[in-house]
Amino acid sequence: MTDATAAPTTVTNDTATNGTDGREEYFDVIQRELTAFSRRARATAARLHPELTLVSQALLSYIHEENGCRATDLAAHYLLDKSTVSRQITALEKLGLIERHPDPEDQRIQVLHPTEAGLKALMSTQASRRAAYQERLADWTTEDLATFARSLLRYNAASNSADQ
């Protein structure tokens, strides 16, 4: 297997020179680029809202998208330990970005909902992130964007089915 630092920085459809179909080199590029993407995402999250980690932003977004959810739903969706989710929820509550409401069907269950401040923080960070993507991808064609979006959806769908 090729060392990740020696992997190509661009990807073409050419067959690799070592006689393989290039899969190993592609895996190296994918690993390196996803790592770089993850690091940029964490750094961007800190700039967008210094009090919210990338994980907190993701949890807040999911709570909003689901029109409220339980902590166990968050843990299951993101494959996180319940204690990790609990710490993140506590931090979001202390910041006044989420609140708990009893489930109308079962008063023993607490459902998390974003507060007005939470929605404002979420909308602000999402708008800033969207603007950054638009700037970074400005010279991509619509076809390039569609291919990238489909590939991400396919990758995440494969990840979800492998995790279950």
Cross-strand bridge partners of residue 101: 111
Band (pLDDT 50/70/90 cuts) for residue 112 is: very high
Can you tell me whether residue 139 is helix, strand or coil? coil
pLDDT, greater one: 10 or 26 = 26
Q: How much is the pLDDT for 88?
A: 93
Which residues, 6+ apart, have CB-to-CB distance to 142 below 8 Å?
A: none
Decide if pLDDT at 123 tops 60: yes
pTM score: 0.74
What is the rounded CA–CA span in Å between residue 106 and residue 23? 51
Which residues, 6+ apart, have CB-to-CB distance to 116 below 8 Å?
A: none
Decide if pLDDT at 107 tops 50: yes
Band (pLDDT 50/70/90 cuts) for residue 6 is: very low
Residue ranges of E strands in the chain = 98-103, 106-114
